[in-house]
Amino acid sequence: MTTSSGDKFDEDVQHHRRHNHHHERLHQHKRSTKRLRTRPRDFQSECLVGYRERIEFHCRFPSTDKPCLREHADDSVRQLDVLATDCCASGGLCTVDDIEALCCRTMDCLAQCYGPSFTARIQSRFRYADILLRAHPIAEDRSNKIGRRMKKRGEKEWGEEAEDD
């Protein structure tokens, strides 16, 4: 059975229509996903969102879902907004030390945030002079590297001074 060139042409057109339709659907999906991820474009809004995320991440103890701040407030979202606004008002120049000053690191402070059962569970692993050594897994990794460098140079690591006294 022979096919005319017209039939072949019709098959090609149908194939391209199907392909283009599928291709357009892919691009529509990409555009809509990208639109959802877009943040506000002005500096103030981007700064606030960025500092809110940074403070939440930095002040959140491992295996918890919310940050623990030194000044306990009923409305922690509002408190994060105030802190982020302060950082952005200074031109977005808050340092890690500035953010660290906002975080809760003592056992008493953490007990107020997460409850006494949380602090009892972690106390033996994370305690040295009632101050937490392990603020966050990333900070923990960084301090371990610093400790190894100090060992190579013959200096004392954290906790070794207490044993000498």
pTM confidence score: 0.46
The Cα-based distances of 110 to 7, 14, 74, 119 in angstroms read 76, 66, 15, 7
Instruction: Calculate what percentage of the chain has a pLDDT beyond 90.
Output: 0
Which of 39-48, 140-149, 154-163 is predicted most confidently? Answer: 39-48
| Per-residue model confidence as pLDDT tens digits over 44-96 | 888 888 888 988 888 888 778 888 888 776 667 788 888 888 888 877 778 88
- Tokens 């701040």 map to which residue? 69
For residue 153, how many other CB atoms are within 10 A of its CB?
6
CA dihedral 24, 30, 34, 35 (to 10 degrees): 40
DSSP 8-class letter at 62: T
Q: Name which of 59, 54, 57, 67 is nearest 93 in CA terms.
A: 54
- Percent of the chain at pLDDT > 70 equals 45
Is 89 in a helix, a strand, or coil?
helix
Contacting residues for 112 by C-beta, under 8 A, at least 6 apart? 72, 104
Number of H helices, E strands in the chain: 8, 2
Identify whether the C-beta of residue 165 lies closer than 8 Å to the C-beta of residue 159.
no
pLDDT value of residue 46: 87
Give yes or no for residue 143 having a pLDDT over 50: no
Residues with Cβ within 8 Å of residue 36, at least 6 apart in sequence = none
